[in-house]
Amino acid sequence: MSGLKLANVKKSFGSVEVIKGVDLDIADKEFVVFVGPSGCGKSTLLRMIAGLEQITGGDLYIGDSRMNEVDPSRRGIAMVFQTYALYPHMSVRENMGFALKFAGRPKAEIEQRVAEAARILELEPLLERRPGQLSGGQRQRVAIGRAIVRHPDVFLFDEPLSNLDAELRVHMRIELARLHKELNTTIIYVTHDQVEAMTLADKIVVLRDGRIEQVGSPLELYDDPDNIFVAGFIGSPK
Ligand code: ADP
Ligand code: MG
């Protein structure tokens, strides 16, 4: 079970509150997309879910377990960042296996998981290459591969396509939809691209200034936005 529950989750940096009480239920295997303007708190929310940032108020549950103080490595979560941050001196194979090696997993298991991720992401012909010998889209797939090998219950993506050109974004969008079906996991995905949100999401969460403005399916938000702000983000004038 890998549903999530956020109950009045808050975050302050010093005296500045940037997440101002977020309540949200995410079902097991749901594809949830966070949208909202720059600075509204999308990355901070993801980082709190991942355990990379401490929660300063409220509660986070994954499955039935309260996770506020649980170490990131024990949350069953893997995060894919906007900047792929691959190790330039390692091959694709080594990049994908590194976290498992670091965690002391047996060699055979690492090999098997890397092979599986390479198959899913169609990276098999590229396993011996270095990141410098890959295109942007290929690098992004390696970054996703590093998350897949960990067999997480929940994937977090923070604007993973924003460094790619328009054509590649369309291609990767289709790949991500396929990936969600194949992996059969919960995904929380941050983007400021409305088309990405509309096409990928089971549920869209519109954020504004540290709060949820509206939650709904793409169709609900498109047909019935609560206000001009949501309409502006989803692309249908009210
Ligand atoms: P988004 O991802 O939606 O663009 P962020 O979550 O990165 O927004 O940031 C939300 C707010 O929190 C911003 O005002 C940002 O300046 C602030 N913030 C983020 N990280 C820190 C930090 N480490 N220290 C202080 N303020 C931060
Ligand atoms: Mg961000």
Ligand 1 lined by 38 (C-beta under 6 Å) = yes
For ligand 1, the distance from its centroid to the CA atom of residue 35, given in whole angstroms, is: 15
How many CA atoms lie less than 13 Å away from 56 in the CB half-sphere? 13
Contacts of 144 (CB under 8 A, 6+ apart): 80, 121, 160, 179
Tens of pLDDT, residue by residue, the chain (238 residues): 679 999 999 999 999 999 999 999 999 999 999 999 999 999 999 999 999 999 999 999 999 999 999 999 899 999 998 777 899 999 999 999 999 999 999 999 999 999 999 998 999 999 999 999 999 889 999 999 999 999 999 999 999 888 888 888 888 889 899 989 998 999 999 998 888 999 999 999 999 999 999 999 999 999 999 999 999 888 654 4
Nearest CA to ligand 1 atom 19: 44
DSSP letter at 70 equals S
For ligand 2, the distance from its centroid to the CA atom of residue 41, given in whole angstroms, is: 7
Nearest-atom number in ligand 1 for the CA of 14 is: 25
The residues pairing with 25 across neighbouring beta strands, listed in sequence order, are: 5
Ligand 1 lined by 42 (C-beta under 6 Å) = yes
Ligand 1 lined by 43 (C-beta under 6 Å) = yes
Residue 185 phi, psi (nearest 5): -125, 170
Which ipTM was obtained for this model?
0.98
Q: Where are the alpha helices (DSSP H) in 68-202?
A: 92-102, 107-120, 136-148, 166-183, 194-200
